[in-house]
Amino acid sequence: GSLSLIVSFGEMLIDFVPTVSGVSLAEAPGFLKAPGGAPANVAIAVTRLGGKAAFVGKLGDDEFGHMLAGILKENGVSGDGINFDKGARTALAFVTLRADGEREFMFYRNPSADMLLTPEELNLDLIRSAKVFHYGSISLIVEPCRSAHMKAMQVAKDAGALLSYDPNLRLPLWPSAEEAREQIMSIWDKADIIKVSDVELEFLTGSNKIDDETALTLWHPNLKLLLVTLGEKGCNYYTKNFRGSVAAFHVKTVDTTGAGDSFVGALLCKIVDDQAILEDERRLKEVLRFACACGAITTTKKGAIPALPTESEVLNLIKG
């Protein structure tokens, strides 16, 4: 399509996922190498739907880094914002598929290349050309990546981009919950759009009530859209003038990895060239239905990237 550019900032890594559930990687009979990293998933979600996306981040100059850069390229994501670190290796995540269907992560980040992106390495022209800038790096806390994150965000904002934030909370990566909360809140009021999961809502507010009152404690005056995603219960949305919810689609879920990223990618793709949608409840609801359908389809296949849908798959699910 002729959509404007969406830039997604953060990490791309490889998830080593056991081929069976209920065991750690060490106990698994085998494993899959699944490319992941929420910001990279979002970029590919956008291009799979026919939109235009670039990924900004750093990879190791190793077999994994080049494999990941190849996957972005195959999927039509611009690699103009990718740097390769000569020394550090690409981040890796080792996944445990718990019997209850949840995933636990252990990370190789020692430090990994993504944590070493410096502000000087940013492709500022690329970032300035973004209509939407999406971020949510798990390396928010570590330097120099933190400074790179801040600079990229500011440059995008100054150039007039809409800023979209997904905290992608991965607690084991932070020294303490308090620090995680602080870091996340330190960039909270820069965002125009924020998407949190029910788990993140609970973590950030300290309340276990997933309701409007709780969600609205996270509101900030410059925010245009706050989204709380609820897995198989769909999502709640909040704007200055209206709020409501959108139901999820019923599908045969096999792996929820990437559902949130798919949801975000779909939303951004639909609003990048028509931001007035954010102020029109009827149209916004339609877009969120589309995003929920994207999220749902993403749960019907193993892995995130292989499961991200095309526009026609989404329309088929919506038509029923």
In angstroms, what is the minimal distance from the CB of 318 to ligand ADP? 12
Distances (CA, A) of 184 to 194, 234, 257: 11, 24, 22
User: Is residue 114 annotated as a catalytic residue, yes or no?
Assistant: no
In angstroms, what is the minimal distance from the CB of 241 to ligand ADP? 22
Nearer to ligand ADP (CB atom), residue 123 or residue 253? 253
Q: Please identify which of the residues 15, 114, 255, 261 carries the catalytic annotation.
A: 261
Distances (CA, A) of 27 to 20, 96, 267, 277: 10, 10, 38, 48
Residue 297 identity: I
Concatenating the DSSP letter of every residue in 30-49 gives -EEEEEE-HHHHHHHHHHHT
Cis? peptide before 111, omega within 30° of 0: yes
In angstroms, what is the minimal distance from the CB of 227 to ligand ADP? 8
The contacts of residue 86 (CB under 8 Å, 6+ apart) are 61
The contacts of residue 150 (CB under 8 Å, 6+ apart) are 119, 187
Nearer to ligand ADP (CB atom), residue 148 or residue 259? 259
Interaction site with ligand ADP (CB under 6 A):
197, 229-232, 234-235, 248-249, 251, 253, 256, 259-260, 263, 292, 295-296, 299
d(CA 301, CA 105): 20
Q: In what order do the strands lie in the sheet with 243-246?
A: 78-85, 52-60, 5-9, 132-135, 162-165, 193-197, 225-229, 235-238, 243-246
d(CA 304, CA 37): 9
In angstroms, what is the minimal distance from the CB of 85 to ligand ADP? 28
Is residue 55 left, alpha or beta, with left meaning phi > 0 and alpha meaning psi from -120 to 50? beta
In angstroms, what is the minimal distance from the CB of 115 to ligand ADP? 22
Q: Which of helix, strand or coil describes residue 165?
A: strand
User: E strand or H helix at 82, and its extent?
Assistant: strand 78-85
Nearer to ligand ADP (CB atom), residue 61 or residue 198? 198
In angstroms, what is the minimal distance from the CB of 2 to ligand ADP? 27
Cis? peptide before 167, omega within 30° of 0: no
Q: Give catalytic residue positions.
A: 261
